[in-house]
Structure 1
Amino acid sequence: MPKGEGKLVAQNKKARHDYFVEETYEAGIVLQGTEIKSIRAGRINLKDSYARIHNGEIFVYNMHISQYEQGNRYNHDPLRTRKLLLHRKQINKLIGQTKEEGYSLIPLKVYIKNGYAKVLLGLAKGKKKYDKREDMKRKEAKREIERAFKARQQG
């Protein structure tokens, strides 16, 4: 989240495991009435969600926002396609970057900032299986070092 502002609502934990995130962009989300209430209640899931550029606009797909309990007939479709709001210059830059081989737009976090729901989009390149294994080895080695350090301090 830029500058530590806002209240974190949802996070895509698998994104950094499956992708190398090179750049991040903050975007607004176009929502219906009951969707913002569900987001504020934390009933949102970013797993398997992604963003695409279509006709010069950015849309997010597979972002699951659960229906609001008190929404009755005004409720929304949980998996509907939602438009993201970015500056024209940012969209044009992203159009060029996503045309390159292997790059995609992945929602990393959703948070509330100044009363508005924002999504942190990451320009990401997919990791290969051996990259994931390297990351796991690195994390395990770091954990072992910290364990040894902690044991030395206590003993």
Structure 2
Amino acid sequence: MSLGRKIVLALLFVFIGIQFIQPARNKSGQVLPTDITKMYNLPENVQVVLKNACYDCHSNNTNYQWYATIQPVGWWLASHIKKGKADLNFNEFGNYSKRKQQSKLKAIANSVKDKTMPLPAYALIHKNAKLSKEDKILLLNWVENLKDSLSQEN
């Protein structure tokens, strides 16, 4: 057997072997009382946009696609989800201080304006996650209204 075939065969065995090492799934199946939708009155159209464009990486419940079971793609996704939840978790939003909530809302607005969220790679695969001009205006208005109401509470 040639060296090239041995290398290909070894890589194939490694690829098959890593399929058995699956990352933990980000699925709680619950809507916590600290979820932003439970803490604040979000219009239905805002909830739809957030769930389509944000919740997979910024909540405790990711809707996994078929490709998430193929390694190393699953590991890469798990890493992104972990980082996304560390930056902002809509299910834990009520646990943040009012000041941190305002900071997170400002960051949401900046991400929408800068077109950095949702991630371009995510929006490429998830067509319903792409933010239309109307979606952006809707989110920005909602963020401003919620920030204003939070600042009035202080």
When the two structures are superposed, what TM-score results if normalisation uses the length of structure 2? 0.27
Larger proportion of strand: 1
Structure number with higher helix proportion: 2
Please say which structure displays the higher CA radius of gyration.
2
Select the structure with the greater relative contact order (CA < 8 A; seq sep ≥ 6): 1
